[in-house]
Structures are given as C-alpha cells and as structure tokens.
Structure 1
Amino acid sequence: MTAGEALALHVSTDAAAFRVRLYRLGRELEFMAEPGPYPGVRKEPPPHPDGPAGAASPAVDWGFPEYLIEVPGDWPPGIYLAQLVEEERREAVPRLGDGDIEGFAREFFVVRPRRPGSHGRILYKKSTFTRHAYNRADREDVRRDGSLYDNPVYGTGGDGYPRGHRLSMRRPGGVIDLAWWDAPFIAWLERCGYAVEYCTDLDLHRDPELLAPYDLLLSVGHDEYWSPAMREHTAAHLRAGGNVAFLSANTCWWRVHLTDDDTGFVSDTDHHVDGVFPHLPSTDLWWAAPPDGVGTPENTLTGVSFRNGGMWPGEWPGDRPRAGYRVQHSGHWVFEGTGLRDGSDGGPVDRLGAGTPLIGYECDGAAFAYDERGVARATGADGTPGSFLILGLYELEPVNEDVTTMKWGHWNCPVREPERTGPRAATMGVHTVDGGGTVFTAGTTDWPVVCGREEDPGVVRVTRNVLDRLSRRGAGDTARP
C-alpha cells in the first residue's frame, strides 16, 4: 500500500472489541499508532474439503470482516507490524519490543512512498508468496494445519484455475519469517544509514514499472515462490542496467499462477495430499524441461539453484555446520577490505563466515568443476550464465543418515537427474548480464541473519561492498580477476 491510503485489515475475534497497535521495523521496533476500538466479530474458518480432523481449508478466502485503517501520508516507507489487542486487556498488554516481533494475533504490511524512489534507490522485496505457502493459518491455541505443506488442496484444473495446489492469501496466521530473516537485517540497514524502500512479491508481479526508479533490488531470506511476471520484470530491470542482490536461497524454485483477483495462487508442486502425490512430475518447477516443468532454470537469473544446493535436515532453524565459505578470487571487489585470502599467495585459504551458521538452513549452488589449480568454475550445464564467477564454496555431503552435516539435493533432483553425480555446494558468486546490470548471489537463506546480527565482520563487509557498489547503475562487476 502507499502512504496516505487505507489499510484493509481482515479480523475474526470473539472479543467484544479490539485495538490495533501499529509498529514500524527499523533500527528498533518503533510504535506508530493505536487506532480503535473496533467491534469484534467471530467467523469460523472454512472446513478442509477433504476432511482431515481439525484442519481448515488453505484454498479459499476465509471471509473475515474488513476494517479500514487510515495510514498517514507522512509515514516513512517500510515494513510495518500490526498487533491485535483486546480492548478490555489493552492496558495489561505491554507494547512490543525488538524481541517480540514473532507471534500470533499480528500481521505485517508494507508502506510505499507516494513518489517511488524519493527515499532511496534500493528496493527491498519481502517474499510474501513464500510466507503464504508455509502459513498453516494456526492461532496461538489451535493448530489448523492448512498450507501447501500441511493438508494441501489439489485441483485438476478448469473454472479459471490451472492444475495444481490451490492457496488463498486471505487466511490468518502468525508472524515468523519476518522476525527471523527480515527484522535483524532491516535494523542493520538502518543502523548503517542505507536509504531503502520496500515492496511485496505482489507489487513486483503486478507492476512492470515498479523497478524503474531503483538501482538495486534485494531478495532476502527464503524466496522460493515466483510468478512469471516477477521474473520478467526482474530480468528487464537487469537488461536496463539495474542490479539485483539475492541475499537468499531456495530462490525462484516454484512457479506460481495468481488467481482470485490476485488474492490466491496455484502451484503444481510435489507436496503430497493425504500421503499421495496427486500428479508427478510436478510441472511448476522452474528448471525442469517441458512438459515436466517450466524449462526456464532459475540459474539463468540468479546464477544458482536449490537442485545444486541442499538443506539442513534438522529442526528449523537449528544449529548447523560452521565452516563458512571457502574463499576464491579474493582480489574481487566483493572482498575489498575483508583481508580474506584465497591461497594464491601461498598462505592458507580463508573461510567467509567461519564460526557462524552462515550456510543454510537452505542453500543454492551452481554446477561446477575444479580446474587444474583447484579453483571451482561454473560449468553452465545447469543454465548458470557463462559470466558467473564463483567467489565462495561450501561442499555439501550426499544425503545419508548422518544429520550433523548439510545435505545436498532435493528429492525431485535425484529422481529427475539420476545420472548427475557431481559435487553439490552452497555457492556465493556474481555475474553480469550482457550490456546490463550485475547480480550478486549469497547462496544461503541465513546471510541476512549473520549480517544483521553482525556475527561475522567479513560477511558484514561483503554486504556493504555489494550494497555500496550495486546501488549505483553502471558500477557493477567491472573489476574481475
């Protein structure tokens, strides 16, 4: 939404009345306003069409009553948090602090400036489609178990819907991913003085001109679900000389088709329905060739793919191996000021992020091979651009029973590509589009966590180098070793 417009909040509650506390995420959680009270109305969630006990349907609009809240025109751009508080309890409920972002009875929204680009040339994209895919629509005391992963609803197509798993974005849920990936990184951005504006996946999907005022687009954290329009608009931005930094992983893995006036989407995925995969192969994988997939590998945009990466098999977020990225091409501008070495001077090879859980919980990689000097180079066999330069590598173990190491692969990949036996690795790198902009990819979901918490000075400096250089068009990957 744009500053000065009305926020439409859909709420069901058995409270007689409630208020809405509004906060902005910045260097700290800033209280902005507390409108209300509003009369409470209770509406039951729709039952799951297949009848799992206690599950609600993830496929339809829950139809909660709408409340309009005027957002002042002078509110700064940002990601905001709405906390619902019962009117009779509001004096006893303290305001939220920096450590209280995660939880139920709250939702986030994005405020954009009236004049795009007037506050900054960096656009931060919040991965909202991925959030909706994982949202089970639970509440604090009730599990509803409805998402693309829990009791999904599959449709065979027709009535304006493509074949695939159906999901409505008009369902309730708590705030989780925002607290883990976004909040610490946004706080760091503001502490460092970066001027940033914000958007959602839906903004990028709808508006082909959205990126025109900006020099750098940021993808942060877990950015798994992309529409064709999102890819087209991002690729056009790069061709026009704009830049992209993927501080994320599992990026652009599934294609989504927007439905229901852009309030829902469909994706033909490999998520089972009542223990059965309704249709295989799942045709909305970006990388797989038609008719078994889309045939446009995510590597062509990001340089990397989840099929050449892997994931942490334990509890999320969990602890993970802390070896970090083995550094390559330490003379590249990305490493400027880090003091990291790649062994070419006869000394040891350094590791970026060593001692921190930088790699994972999911990570992406490029198909690669070692040359005669032991330097990993992208082969391009998976669609990775020829200009992609591998700057950091963390080799993953094949899938086995030892859950103390990161595992490569996704079940779709060994099944579809059984002949592929080459190494997999989380991969950090950079490439430049012919005649256009530059792409940096971190290759791991938790890059913004390690940077935002300032757990490793090398990760912080690399991030600053990327932001400082790529926030100016035409200043991208011009200094390659």
Structure 2
Amino acid sequence: MVTEQVRRWESGALAHGVNDPFGQGPLPWLRGSETYFDGTGRMVPWYVDPDGCGPAGGTCGHGPRTADDVHRQIKGFTSTPAAAPGEAIDFRITVDPPQQFAVDVYRIGHYAGDGAAKITTSPRLSGIVQPPPLTADRTVSCHHWWLSWRLQIPTYWNLGAYVAVLTTADGYRSHIPFTVRDDRPADLLLVLPDVTWQAYNLYPEDGRTGASLYHAWDEHGRLLGEQEAAVTVSFERPYAGAGLPLHVGHAYDFIRWAERYGYDLAYADTRDLHAGRVDPTRYRGLVFPGHDEYWSVPMRRAVEQARDGGTSLVFLSANTMYWQVELTPSPAGPDRLLTCRKRRGPGRSALWRETAAPEQELIGIQYAGRVPEPHPMVVRNAGHWLWEATGAGEGDELPGMVAGEADRYFPRTTLPPHIRRILLAHSPYTDGEGALRHQETSLYRAPSGALVFASGTFAWSPALDRPGHVDERIQRATANLLDRICKRD
C-alpha cells in the first residue's frame, strides 16, 4: 500500500538524520516575499508547509507541498554541481503528472536575516515524466534523463551556494543545490562537502530502489544496514526527500554568519578540490563548514600541500576525513561515481586511520564516536587568544556544544608536524552504551605558519547562525580565528 511506502520513506530519512541533532526541514529560515496561489485562491508564502500533510502531500489547500520519492511529483538534479559565471548549469527534472513548473533560484547569505535572496526565476517550463532510475548492483543513476532547463550563469552573479526551488502548477516543490565558483583570489575558500552529501543520499526513498553508502531496501521494503548498502553511488540523481542533502544546514549556517560580518569568501565543492579545479594555495584559509566524512586521496593531498605552503585550515565539524573514497567516471562524465568499499570483502580497509595516514596527522584530532544527547563543551586554556573577549573562563560549560558526533586527541596516533599545539576544550559525555568519553577542540600551528583548527563537534556551525542554537561565545571565538587567519586589524 502507498501508506506503507511512505512509512518506509520516512524511516529512511530518520535513519540518516539520527546523527545530526540539527537536522531541519528544507530552508525554514528563508523569509522572503515570494507567494503563490493556493487551492482556494489565497496567496501564501512558498516556504509554508501545509498543516497535517505527510510526505506524500495531498490536497491540503495550504500552498506548496513537499514532493517525495514515492510519487515523484517533482524531482531533479544538476549535471554540473558547480560552475563559474559565464558557464551553464543543466537541470534534469521529472514531473508527475506532467504539467508546467517554474524554478526560483536563491543565493544563500545573510540578506538582513532572510537567509537567502531570490536571484532569478525561470520561464514557465513544460514538465515530463522522466524514465525510472537505472540500477546496477545497488548503484542508482538518472543520467539518462532528458535536459529540462539550462541556466546560463551571468558573469555578474556573485559566487556562492545556491538553491533552485522547483514548484509545479499544482503546488508541489522540491530543491536542487548548486555552487557558483571561480578561481578569483579571496581570503577564505569555503569547501562544500558534496562528496559526503552524496554518500548519505538514499534516493529514491521509495521502499524499493534507493541506496546510499549506509542503507538499501530489501524485496519486502525493509531498510537494510551498512553491510547491504551500496558500494558505489552516483552523483547523477536527485537528493532524497525534499531535494536537499542531509547536513546541508551546517554549511548554510556558516555562510550566513560569515557574509553578515563581511568575510571575503570564495566557493568550491570537494569534487573541485579532488579534480584540481581550484588551487587551495591561493587562499589564506580553507574552511570546511560541515560534516565532511568522505575524502579521496587527491583531496587530502591538495589540502596537505596547501597547509605546507602556509594556507590555514578550519574544520568546523567532527568525523572529518574518516572514509577514503575513489571518484571515477561514468558515461555522463568524470567524477560521477563515488566508491567506498568500507569493510566488506578482501583488500585494504577504507578507513584513513587503518592506512598509513590517520586523519589526526592532518586535522590534529580525529573521530571518537557518536553523542546520543547534547552535552556542554568545557572550555580549556581560556587564556588563549581564541577565547579572547568571549567571556569564557577556564572550565566554563557551553551548553549543547558537544552534539551529534565528537572528535578527540588519540595519544597513540601520530600528530602532524607543528610548532605549537593546544587543546581548547575537553568535554566529557556519555556514549550510546553508557560509557564516559570526552570531546576535544584542537588548534596547531604548522611549520609553514598555517593554523589548523578543528572544532571536534557537530554543534559549532549551528552555533554561529542557527535559530535556537546561537552561542555568542562561539561566534566571537570563530571571529578571533578567522580574523587572525585573514590578518584583520
């Protein structure tokens, strides 16, 4: 029955969201003036979710409803996730039943607290039902979908993180994220973790077809675990559910805060780093704003070379660079397939720490485990310049700042080469088995002079600009760090 499929769809979303206590619906913090007619002729904001409507929607009469992967009311993806001004982004979109739709393009930023600004709107477009996804060995791909709309990016557009909001004539909506990047010099390069986003993507969450590096479905519609999940996933498909990646909000939290205070940002995706489309040595610092768990060898090599050349690194989450992955071509183009073999079958482990290069050798700390319930972050070395003017004293507790997942220093694991190194938080928490563990926040200065900061928690970026999670001490500490990297007066 359809209701069972929807229940399975929900279970897939919940299974992925369990590690992120900051999960939220698609862009609820957008507060613009965009309005649409609902079924009764009233005007309603596009971001309003209908009361009492489940993921499958229905004729609720309250404005746009979120599309889902069971009915595929409207779903889509971009063939090129990042492009420069003057280049084009191709959108491949399915609409069921076939009808007209439009695409509103928003840029993420502060924008006086709105969170984003509408940049352009497509003409009315004719939607078609695209073919079902192709599957092979649990790899799901939609590379055979027809082109629906080509967005030519004007040369005057600002670099940044963008979201395309798709809305059908009968009031269903979905989202597609993309990036406008360039190789212009800037103080900071913000690296969006699209490789990790795809690793978690269970599209389609339909109880039958979808698969990620974590889950898949069996023939009875039961959600299977990691041992039965995909080994290879494709970038040529929509994101599940509402069309935005899991954990995407962490990056948007940082962007809104950083643009509010005028930091000079350039933008790239992790695949840009992998393919060498950006030169990280051109920037004073690289910022990794969100959950960034999956790294290829070229990604790590590029970041290490940047650090060794004097470029600082800022890791604002936890569980960074845990799995080693390969990016390979598909018939649609290069770097379209993501493979992580994890622990299945013969051969070497895919864990960085079980190779000759544990992640601590770059980051300064590494993944320790999940944090079932938020715990306070306990300040250490409060006299350090990072905590200057925050009001935080030695041993002070910052409520809820250890959450989701946590990192710590591993004494038996090699440290990176450093001139100075300091731990700026040491926070006890209880894990899922009831054992007492601890989180740590790390900072070291490399021989090149580069600073390498690692927050060691999922809660850092949300504390910058997430409603209900803002912590002014974390905001000030982050500003202290970035100001020093950017050499602000």
TM bucket (normalised to shorter chain) is 0.7 to 0.9
Question: Is the 2:108–2:256 Cα contact (8 Å) retained in structure 1?
Answer: yes
Give the residue type in structure 2 aligned to 1:83. Answer: V
Q: Secondary structure at the match of 1:455?
A: coil
204, 215, 239: which one pairs with 1:138? 204
Larger mean Cα displacement after TM superposition, 61-70 or 222-231: 61-70
Q: Secondary structure of 1:466's partner?
A: helix
Q: Supply the distance in 1 between the matched residues of 2:248 and 2:431 (Cα, whole angstroms).
A: 31
2:76 is matched with none
Paired with 2:327 and 2:217, the residues of 1 have a C-alpha distance of: 17
> Helix, strand or coil for the counterpart of 2:481?
helix
2:39 alignment counterpart: none
Kindly provide the CA deviation profile for residues 244-276 of structure 1, in whole angstroms up to 9, marking residues without a partner as x: 110011100011111112111211114xxxxxx
Identity of aligned residues (%): 28
* Aligned equivalent of 1:29: 116
Q: Distance in 2 between matches of 1:42 and 1:208?
A: 34
Give the SS at the match of 2:474.
helix
Selected match of 1:74 from 156, 164, 167: 156
Does the 8 Å CA contact 1:111/1:198 hold for their aligned counterparts? yes
**Superposed CA offset, 1:126-181 (max 9, x none):** 11011001111136x8774311111299xxxxxxxxxx911111111221436531
Cα distance, 1:383 vs. partner?
A: 2.1
- Paired letter, 1:458: R
Alignment of 1:263 onto 2:316? no
Q: Secondary structure at the match of 1:241?
A: coil
- Secondary structure at 2:401's aligned position in 1? coil
Q: Residue 180 of structure 2 aligns with which residue?
A: 111
- 1:6 matched to which residue of 2? 88
Asked whether 1:287 is paired with 2:369, we answer no
Q: Secondary structure at the match of 2:231?
A: strand
Alpha-carbon distance in 1 for matches of 2:460, 2:325: 25
Displacement of 1:108 after TM fit?
Answer: 0.5
- The reply to whether residue 322 of structure 1 matches residue 375 of structure 2 is yes
Residue identity matched to 2:391: G
Query: SS state of the match for residue 216, structure 2?
Result: coil
Higher relative contact order (CA 8 A, sep 6+): 1
Contact kept? 1:322, 1:359, Cα under 8 Å: yes
Alpha-carbon distance in 2 for matches of 1:6, 1:242: 30
How far is 1:200 from its partner? 0.3
**Match of residue 305 from structure 1:** 366
* Cα pair 2:199 2:338 within 8 Å, conserved: no
Corresponding residue number in structure 1 for 2:416: 385
- Indicate how the Cα distance of structure 1 residues 44 and 446 shifts in structure 2: closer, same or farther if over 3 A, else same: farther
Aligned counterpart, 1:334: 386
Q: Please state whether the residue corresponding to 1:81 is helix, strand or coil.
A: strand
Do the aligned residues in 1 keep the contact of 2:189 with 2:266 (CA within 8 Å)? Answer: yes
Amino acid at match of 1:335: W
| TM-score (normalizing by structure 1) | 0.73
TM-score (normalised: structure 2): 0.72
**Which region of structure 1 is more displaced relative to structure 2, 63-72 or 193-202?**
63-72
Matching residue of 1:85: 167
Paired position in structure 1 for 2:396: 350
1:450 aligns with 2:480: no
Misfit runs of 4+, over 6 Å: none
Q: Which amino acid aligns with 1:247?
A: L
2:302 to 233, 253, 256: 233
Contact 1:220 1:445 in 2 (8 A): no
Kindly indicate whether residue 471 of structure 2 is the aligned counterpart of residue 465 of structure 1: no
Change (3 A) 1:73 1:24: same
Partner of 2:271: 202
Unaligned runs of 5+ in 2: 1-82, 219-229
What secondary structure does 1:7 align onto? Answer: strand
The alignment's C-alpha RMSD in Å is 2.6
1:363 aligns with 2:406: yes
In structure 1, the partner of 2:59 is: none
The answer on 1:166 being equivalent to 2:236 is no
